Structure 1
Amino acid sequence: MTSRIATKSAAETQKIARILAGELKPHAHGAVVVALEGDLGAGKTTFTQGFARALGIKENVLSPTFVLMKIYDLKQEARSKKQGFKYLVHIDCYRIHNPKDILHLGMKDILKDRDAIVLIEWADRIKKILPRDTIRIRFAHGAKQHERRMRIEAVA
């Protein structure tokens, strides 16, 4: 299934993220993985901020470009408990050049964790190791400054 969505502002992009976050449920076989792809400044982090907010994360969410990964504990968040997720794992693969490099950070275990929802910025750099049922979102700049286009692909 593929959906195409256009937004006119960061707030609209975050709204789409909140809607998606509210719809996702844990998988029996491993983490729910959302792959975010697109050029620099195309909306990946903005989307992630809205997504995290929908899961009850109140702290400021920034791309973990230099640390590569940030794990948010959702155990105490009422909304997330209702959905069943215990962790949001936010990964930024901008500095990854070989998919094997991310495996050293425990990526195999993260992908097997049924309690985790994983958002990966620059996911195209590690697509060879992502699960087949990964939700892929491709971001592109729109015609105007704050416009963004999203193509969401999910295995039905």
Structure 2
Amino acid sequence: MQRPRRQYPPLFGNSFAFKFKDQKGCIHRFKCGTKTLVELVSAVTQRLGLDGDKCRIKLLYEDNEGDKVLLASDDDLVGEMNHAKLTEWKLILLHIDVPGTNKIILSSKSDISTMQRNVWTSLRAGILAGTIAVASIGVMVYLKRSKVCDSPQG
């Protein structure tokens, strides 16, 4: 027997709640009554205090698997909003990519800790690769010298 499905609270028109964290760590939560990506980007740039004409940002959302997925079209936005409503999410967590800065504005402390872990993992891998390279060169030099010393002189 299936349990009764809880109804998602109705929102005004096409509005949906969005949430993101800015570069200063302030959390922005707002409802946006749109199904167009241009209007959502405009709402976010306004909250960030950016000039929308000069700064083109890209919006990404976090899906149910934790991946950051680019919102590239109005269809992407509508699809994510419909998915969020069907899965009874109360909001969509946004991530903001500011082109030209090579960084994504992180949305949570877990994103920062994940990034720090990735940096440390990369650093450890680099150190390990360097150590292996130096050890290999040392072994090759040793073998070459031992062959020279062991070879009969004529």
TM bin, normalised by shorter chain, reads: under 0.3
- The structure carrying a bigger helix percent of its residues is 2
- Which has the higher relative contact order, 1 or 2, with Cα contacts under 8 A spaced 6 or more apart? 1
The structure having more radius of gyration, on CA atoms, is: 2
Under a length normalisation based on structure 1, what TM-score does the superposition of the two structures give?
0.23
- The structure carrying a bigger strand percent of its residues is 1
